[in-house]
Amino acid sequence: MALLPIIVAPDPRLKVVCEPVDDINDDIRKLVTDMLETMYDAPGLGLAAPQVGVKKRLLVVDVAKDDDAPDPHPMINPELTWASKELFEYEEGCLSLPKYYANVSRPDKVHVSYLDENGDSRELKAEGLLAVVVQHEMDHLEGILFVDHLSMLKRNVILRKLKKMKKQRQLETVGA
């Protein structure tokens, strides 16, 4: 198990459309384990492969509360098969956009089909927070960030601040 570096926006690697996983092998299972460890360490509720520099359709989510047992959902090649018309608004954040949050409306309930880390077909019926997190992470697989759901003004303000933060960190690293 290893902690993986999380890519921070703006970064072109976060804007790619990911490729399907063709073969669920030990490398993919190790990636799932490393992504879960990275997500829990961050801490976050979800993490998609492109956030750690892997252009594959793979994500992990776990919305269990701190006092509950972990309930991880690794999803390989997830596909949205149904979404409710009712929307749920939630203040979203993202490990790739640290310290920034904004309200995003998404379908309140979704059904997702996917493969687990053993290659078995699964379906998840999610609602509320779990539905939000799954949709947020699935967006990453299409190169979409939660700020892409905001007005252009709000999105640009957040991305400019992140760019400035990244530049400042680079200067501090060079100066160290």
Query: Whole-angstrom Cα distance, residue 48 to residue 76?
Result: 10
- pTM for this one? 0.94
Instruction: List, by residue number, the catalytic residues.
Output: 137
Alpha helices in the chain (DSSP H): 26-41, 128-141, 152-175
Single-letter code of the amino acid located at 44: G
Query: Whole-angstrom Cα distance, residue 158 to residue 86?
Result: 28
pLDDT, tens digit, for every residue of 101-128?
999 999 999 999 999 999 999 999 999 9
In the chain, % of residues over pLDDT 70: 99
Give the number of other CB atoms < 10 A from CB of residue 65: 7
2 within some domain? no
Domain that includes residue 27, residue range: 12-167
7 within some domain? no
5 within some domain? no
Residue 127 neighbours by CB under 8 Å, 6+ apart: 88, 108, 109, 110
Number of domains comprising the chain: 1
